[in-house]
Amino acid sequence: MYYTYLLQSKKDNKFYTGYSKNLKLRFEQHQKGKVESTAPRRPLELVYYEACLDENDAIHREKYLKTYHGKMFIKNRLKSYLAGRETLSAMPIK
């Protein structure tokens, strides 16, 4: 399985989107500061993930979630979670 995931920084509330074959290991790398793009934004919380059977599907999904329509999908999907938090439209997702 390949996973497309969304992390939220507890420091600045911004989101990071990525994909990985090993979600648990990749999340640990993010948490330990071993991922350059998220290291200064720790601690992080895993707020969403999707599983794909094919790596290309996971990559395609990651790219989609970074688009305007993908951000709107996430905003609607996580409506309860995001209530009272900064909206996705105001947050850059890497």
The tens digit of pLDDT for each residue in 40-90 reads: 999 999 999 999 999 999 999 999 999 999 999 999 999 988 886 654 445
Domain that holds residue 70: 2-90
Give the predicted TM-score (pTM) of the model: 0.86
Q: What is the pLDDT of residue 89?
A: 45
CB neighbourhood size of 3 (10 A): 21
Give the three-class secondary structure for 94.
Answer: coil
Average pLDDT in the 15-25 region? 98
Task: Please determine, for residue 10, whether its predicted confidence score (pLDDT) is greater than 70.
Answer: yes
Domain containing residue 40: CATH number: 3.40.1440
Q: Could you tell me whether strands 44-52 and 15-20 are parallel, antiparallel, or unpaired per DSSP bridges?
A: unpaired
Going across the sheet that includes 44-52, the strands are 15-20, 2-9, 44-52
Amino acid 86: pLDDT: 55
**Number of structural domains in the chain:** 1
